[in-house]
Amino acid sequence: MLKYILRRILQIIPTLIGVSFLSFSLLYVFPGDPAELIVMINSGVEPSPEMVEKFRVEAGLDKPLIVQYINWLSKVIKGDFGTSWSTGEPVIEEIAGRFPASAQLFFSTFLISVAFAFLLGIIAALYRDKAIDHICRFWSLIGISIPSFWLGLMLIWVFSVHLHLLPAFGYGTLKHAILPVITWSVSFMAIKARFIRASLLDALNQDYILTARAKGLSEKTIVFRHALRNALIPVVTYLSLSMSHLIVGSVMVEVVFAWPGLGSLLVESVFKRDFPVVQALVLLSAVIFTITNLIVDILYAVIDPRIRYGD
Amino acid sequence: MRLTRRDFVKYTVVGATSLAGVSFLGCTQKEGGEVAKPTPVETKAEAKPVYKDTFVLGEGKDHRLKGGKWGIGFFPKIHVLERLVEYDIKNDKLVPSLAEKWDVEQDGKVIAFQLKKGIKFSDGTELNAEAVKFTMDRLIAKEHSLRPEKAEVLDEYTVAIHFKDAEFFNLAKMAEFHLSIMAPTSVNPVGDPAAELVKPIGTGPLKVVDYKENQYAIYEPNKYWYERRGIEPKFKKFVVKIIPDEDTRVMALRSGEVDAISDFSHGGSDYTPRNQLDILAGDGYKVYKRNIPLTWVIAFNYEKEPFNDSEIRKAVSLAVNRDEIVKIFDGHVRPAWNGMFAPEAPGMAKAGITYEYNPDKAKEILSDLGKEGVEVSFIVDKGQGDQILVAQLIQQQLNSVGFNVNLDILEGGAYKQKRDTGDYDMRLYYIGGTDRRFYLRLYWRFHPETKWKAYLSPRTGELCKAVLKEFDKTKREQHLIELYKVLYEEMGVVPLYHDVMTVVTSPKVEARQEQLFEMAEPFFYGVGAKL
């Protein structure tokens, strides 16, 4: 198992190098001269050729792409992601400044939506084709279909404008987090509930469940000790994919609620052609995703004793 | 397995109670914006209204108070800093602000400004010639496109600014946002033009107290500015909350979390949706509006077919119904029937121009030229939501007279790339800006030297240069009138509508139109939120 883990960790490195090179070079395929765009957007004037050239040299854009990439990578290895082209601040500080807000939003949403997804999914599976199953599935459909920005605005309308119970926007207290978390949780939970339902139904239809019932085990034991555990493997895989949403999944919610997270930072940086920030966020997403995958693979061995990795 | 009814109810109640409990947890707001004790305003006569200590404004763009590479945002440039001169568009003249008077030398190549004495920056340091030189030197160090050649201190309160060319435009530029005067104590080390900004310190009505990027900016009144004006502020703290989404800004106003919302100081973007203004007014909110000399136009790729022919450009103008376009904005903007710029722009009223709506004539022109069904590409920047609606309406109107318009809604960078490479036939564009940018935008849009011109012909290029060079107001007006007429005759661009600047406040806010729009940009020194 240890050798497997070490091998997987080593495999992450070429993956990350590939991702970083792709994200670095694809940005240069974007239309528009980044130097001119950045200077114009940020300076608020139509820039002089000297301003553009000065920026181009300072940002290293006058060098060939491969030289730029190697220079950037050599700094990244030392933990230096460069400086933001729009603010002039170190990229790592920009990201660190926004990370707590994103983490709060994501993990709150993740926990709440997973809890409710399991609740809805299990109920729907256990009461298959009954009224409550239809209600749960309808609720999931609504959650998938409703655009999150619309839902967010409607929640603001009800709870902030009319009931004056919760703030309409902003970040800082627990009250500020409620509406954004609910907004994001609705769609987050909807898809998962359907997945859990399907996975649990599949497990409940297996022969060993029939055997368990024949042996006289209680339904509670059958569902929670046997069926759910077997149903968890695809569910855990699916949940791990959600980790990539940490960075980009919350953009709509962040914009509607003026939540200063990484999603809105990424979108702003793309439009401003602030390449250092975009490259850092893409790399960060890739790191989170690959490490999560590794953790999930290890979790498989915990959930299912049949899965063992060769030593 | 069957969950018993009891189990189901138990789990549901636990879940619902937890959710409700979370909803009511949480501490009070700890950031700026909390209402403190009321501040009775001291008056000489009868009792005046009692105002909240803190006035809260919702805006769409960050104030960039750290400065960074590009300097501070437009709001602090207007509220924290001031300029040597301001531009009075009605009378087409530069009026004293921090400068008391000035001498134009060498036909405008050198302008010597004599500063008003006794003006202090918000930190108590004095405004003097060194501070002005410091500001100019900073622009020079950054190779800013609006920088002068050099600034020279002649005496404690007199500074001579040298420019590359001898023209009136040099004086007009001194009213520009980016030439706002900042104290040398704004940077560390003090007075070093190349040093990083610590905090912008100016002579304006507000001073910076706190700032969190993309969240809020907190200001306090600058007592020296209010003393100069002989008035008292109606707030102790002025908090600006950054709310990027326009609908959320409106909701924040309605929920009472902000006292007012404002269009972006620069104009043209991040504004209150125009189709919400009447609804807000109907619900008791106060809508303040100010016309600005910013006109949205159709610009052409006049260097290639079909729009290298002015007759085809005229056909476009004849086909466009400007009254229909302004309906998109619920009539809050003005149709551009009478000229390139808003009527209050210098010389515009005297130019006597009228654009015609005559779709039959447009069809006739196309038919005579054998251009019925001519395919044209029309590019729009996706970032401007209302412009997409305008473009779609124009597409309909042009198609009805015989054009075949392919509308391309593009991301900002893609729009600019097509514009720069000439890969388009028509595009939506804007001319002008807030008052202080009138001549600057004229330069950017019609001068032969600039890159992102709206239109250039030998006549318009020469007239634009003549306008920007001429110090004599009467002669300058004559050049402007001629420029407007030539632009009309050649149909260089097709003006669509003149834009506005708005501020919407809660019913409890006390504000005066003439204070709020003392300049074209919203100016909040005189507002107060009553308890």
Tens digits of per-residue pLDDT, A227-271?
888 888 778 887 777 777 766 778 889 999 999 999 999 988 888
Instruction: Note whether A85 contacts B: Cβ–Cβ < 8 A.
Output: yes
Residue A224 has pLDDT above 50, yes or no: yes
Nearest Cα residue to B254 out of A176, A159, A254, A171: A159
Only one residue has tokens 């919302």, namely B261
- Contact between B527 and B235 (Cβ < 8 Å): yes
How many C-beta atoms lie closer than 10 Å to residue A14's C-beta?
9
Q: Which two tokens stand for residue A63?
A: 């060098």
Only one residue has tokens 């409710």, namely A116
CA distance A116 to chain B (A): 9
Q: Which two tokens stand for residue B268?
A: 């043209």
Distance of CA A292 to the CA centre of its chain: 11
Identify the bridge partners of residue B196 per DSSP, sorted by sequence position: B188
Q: What is the DSSP string of chain A?
A: -HHHHHHHHHHHHHHHHHHHHHHHHHHTTSSS-HHHHHHHHHHSS---HHHHHHHHHHTTTTS-HHHHHHHHHHHHHTT---B-TTT-SBHHHHHHHHHHHHHHHHHHHHHHHHHHHHHHHHHHHHTTTSHHHHHHHHHHHHHHHS-HHHHHHHHIIIIIIIS--S-SS--SSHHHHHHHHHHHHHHHHHHHHHHHHHHHHHHHTSHHHHHHHHTT--HHHIIIIIIHHHHHHHHHHHHHHGGGHHHHTTHHHHHHTT---HHHHHHHHHHHT-HHHHHHHHHHHHHHHHHHHHHHHHHHHHH-TT-----
Instruction: Note whether A165 contacts B: Cβ–Cβ < 8 A.
Output: yes
Find the largest Cα–Cα distance for chain B: 96
Give the chain A residue whose CA is nearest to the CA of B142.
Answer: A51
Tell me which chain A residues have a C-beta less than 8 angstroms from the C-beta of B214.
260, 264
Interface contact flag, A260 B215, Cβ < 8 Å? yes
- Contact between A236 and A147 (Cβ < 8 Å): no
Residue A85 has pLDDT above 90, yes or no: no
* Strand-pair category, B286-300 with B426-432: antiparallel
A209-213: long-range contacts at Cβ-Cβ below 8 A with a sequence spacing of 24 or more? Answer: none
How many C-beta atoms lie closer than 10 Å to residue B34's C-beta?
13
Residue A78 has pLDDT above 70, yes or no: yes
Residue B30 has pLDDT above 50, yes or no: no
DSSP class of B31:
S
Residue B41 has pLDDT above 80, yes or no: no
Nearest Cα residue to B432 out of B293, B266, B530: B293
Residue A26 has pLDDT above 80, yes or no: no
Interface contact flag, A88 B414, Cβ < 8 Å? no
Q: What gap in Å lies between CA B102 and CA B83, rounded to an integer? A: 13
- Indicate the SS3 state at residue B347: coil
pLDDT band, very low/low/confident/very high, at B26 (cuts 50, 70, 90) = very low
Q: What gap in Å lies between CA B324 and CA B346, rounded to an integer? A: 27
* Disruptive mutation site among A37, A41, A46 for chain B (greatest number of B CBs within 10 Å): A46
Q: What gap in Å lies between CA B77 and CA B265, rounded to an integer? A: 9
* Global confidence as pTM: 0.88
- Contact between A140 and A120 (Cβ < 8 Å): yes
pLDDT at B28: 37
- Contact between B204 and B124 (Cβ < 8 Å): no
* Highest mean pLDDT pick, A226-240, A290-304, B350-364, B404-418: B350-364
Single-letter amino acid, residue B81: L
Interface contact flag, B69 A48, Cβ < 8 Å? no
Mean pLDDT on A21-28:
78
- Look at chain B and count its residues: 531
Q: What gap in Å lies between CA B303 and CA A285, rounded to an integer? A: 46
Only one residue has tokens 């020296």, namely B224
Residue B138's H or E segment, with its range, is helix B129-141
Q: Lowest-pLDDT range, A14-23, B112-121, B301-310?
A: A14-23
Residue B295 has pLDDT above 80, yes or no: yes
Q: Which two tokens stand for residue A245?
A: 């949403």
- Contact between B438 and B87 (Cβ < 8 Å): yes
Out of A168, A174, A255, name the one closest to residue B252 (CB): A168
Selected residue with higher pLDDT from B21 and A173 = A173
Single-letter amino acid, residue A197: R
Out of B69, B145, B413, name the one closest to residue A42 (CB): B69
Inter-axis angle of helices A275-303 and A65-77, to 10 degrees?
50
- Indicate the SS3 state at residue B481: helix
Interface contact flag, A123 B3, Cβ < 8 Å? yes
What is the separation, in whole angstroms, between the first and last Cα of chain B? 60
Residues A60, A64, A69: CA angle, nearest 5 degrees: 70
Q: Lowest-pLDDT range, A185-199, B168-182, B215-229, B466-480?
A: A185-199
* Phi, psi dihedral angles at B291 (to 5 degrees): -70, 140
How confident is the model over B141-156, as pLDDT tens digits? 988 889 999 999 999 9
Window 264-293 of A, Cβ < 8 Å to B: 264, 271, 273
Quote the ipTM score: 0.86
Residue B40 has pLDDT above 50, yes or no: no
Instruction: Note whether A26 contacts B: Cβ–Cβ < 8 A.
Output: no
pLDDT at A53: 86
